Copies of this chain bind each other. A is one copy, B any other.
């Protein structure tokens, strides 16, 4: 019952086996090896993008920061949702890598509102040389609120960017969960909509630590290569990164794990919806549920070993007071654990 995040669980056995297999033999360093070649091809095939530049890094923060650095000029504004991961959880990495400035855009359910984006761009334009210049727009799907953009909703945001000639980045830390939720292909959720670069996440979905920066414009490859090296993210033994990604995209493993995680999220949400006194806060599109539960419910669950983020003091206060929590399901969750948690909360 560890709902703290989708980075608390184990890597998938097939991912681990691929890492073991990559440990055989001598291989040239810095990505000049067959494991990397295969993984790059696997990602390109998955995205139906044979020309895309694909580079692996071990963290989502690195992937986002690199992708934005390639898309933005140092004097640009990067438009993101007010609660985007790049804004709240990356300690300034996007700014450090790119020099650019994040400009926060409002929108319900953690989705950028197209009109609010248009307003933000107009505000920038109105400042001329005195303000940051309009630069990349970055979306996140699955969002930080656990909701999803539909493809149409993404298209509406991207249309605003494209109208102003701005590049678009997709933070896909939970890209697989979004594809599973929407029933679309990676291509449909990225370049077919006009997305220029994706952070394609593996870490939160059954890998040890790997994300692919996928740039659909191959002209960016050299810059991305140099920025990755300069940031200390070019592994001499790249094969251990690549092996994870190779296994992840092979035989639909990425989607299989995301579907499992989303199914657990749905079960959790269904259980909470039926529970008197529980309140669900956002649309539940994938594997994340925000809910408020009575303090006593949290106390019972924690006493039995559950772990997850709660806003407020679990230990003292009125037992019936509602405390908000964030529950995240991993690909590896046993459905019985969901039932057990629901039973504990219900009391």
Residues of A within 8 A of B (CB): 2, 4-5, 7-11, 16, 19-20, 23-30, 57-63, 65-66, 73-75, 88-93, 95-97, 99-102, 104, 127, 129-133, 203-204, 208-209, 223, 225-227, 229-237, 240-241, 307, 330
Task: Report chain B residues within 8 Å CB of A101.
Answer: 92, 95, 102
Other than the known A62-B232, A90-B229, what 18 A-B pairs have Cβ atoms closer than 8 Å?
Answer: A5-B29, A8-B28, A9-B26, A11-B23, A11-B240, A16-B19, A16-B23, A19-B208, A23-B208, A26-B330, A60-B236, A61-B234, A73-B226, A75-B227, A91-B230, A93-B229, A203-B237, A209-B236
The answer to whether A235 touches B8, judged by C-beta atoms less than 8 angstroms apart, is: no
Copy total for this chain? 4
* Bound Cα distance from A340 to B59, whole angstroms: 42
Task: Report chain B residues within 8 Å CB of A223.
Answer: 73
The answer to whether B230 touches A7, judged by C-beta atoms less than 8 angstroms apart, is: no
Task: Report chain B residues within 8 Å CB of A88.
Answer: 127, 130-131
* Cβ-closest chain B residue relative to A332: B26
- Listed A/B pairs (13) with beta-carbon separation below 8 Å: A5-B29, A8-B26, A8-B27, A10-B25, A62-B232, A62-B233, A74-B96, A90-B130, A97-B232, A129-B229, A133-B226, A208-B240, A231-B231
Task: Report chain B residues within 8 Å CB of A24.
Answer: 10
The answer to whether B235 touches A209, judged by C-beta atoms less than 8 angstroms apart, is: yes
The answer to whether B240 touches A209, judged by C-beta atoms less than 8 angstroms apart, is: yes
The answer to whether A230 touches B93, judged by C-beta atoms less than 8 angstroms apart, is: yes
The answer to whether A231 touches B93, judged by C-beta atoms less than 8 angstroms apart, is: yes
Contact among B20, B92, B204 for A74, CB-based, below 8 A: B92
The answer to whether B75 touches A236, judged by C-beta atoms less than 8 angstroms apart, is: no
Task: Report chain B residues within 8 Å CB of A231.
Answer: 62, 93, 96, 231-232
Task: Report chain B residues within 8 Å CB of A241.
Answer: 209
Task: Report chain B residues within 8 Å CB of A20.
Answer: 16, 20
The answer to whether B74 touches A230, judged by C-beta atoms less than 8 angstroms apart, is: yes
Select the residue from A97, A102, A233 with max chain B CB neighbours within 10 A: A233
* Bound Cα distance from A285 to B39, whole angstroms: 38
* Bound Cα distance from A306 to B65, whole angstroms: 39
* Bound Cα distance from A30 to B91, whole angstroms: 14
The answer to whether B58 touches A58, judged by C-beta atoms less than 8 angstroms apart, is: yes
* Bound Cα distance from A75 to B95, whole angstroms: 10
Select the residue from A10, A74, A90, A330 with max chain B CB neighbours within 10 A: A74
* Bound Cα distance from A20 to B19, whole angstroms: 10
Name the 8 nearest CB pairs between A and B, nearest first.
A62-B232, A7-B236, A2-B26, A61-B232, A91-B229, A89-B130, A75-B226, A208-B240
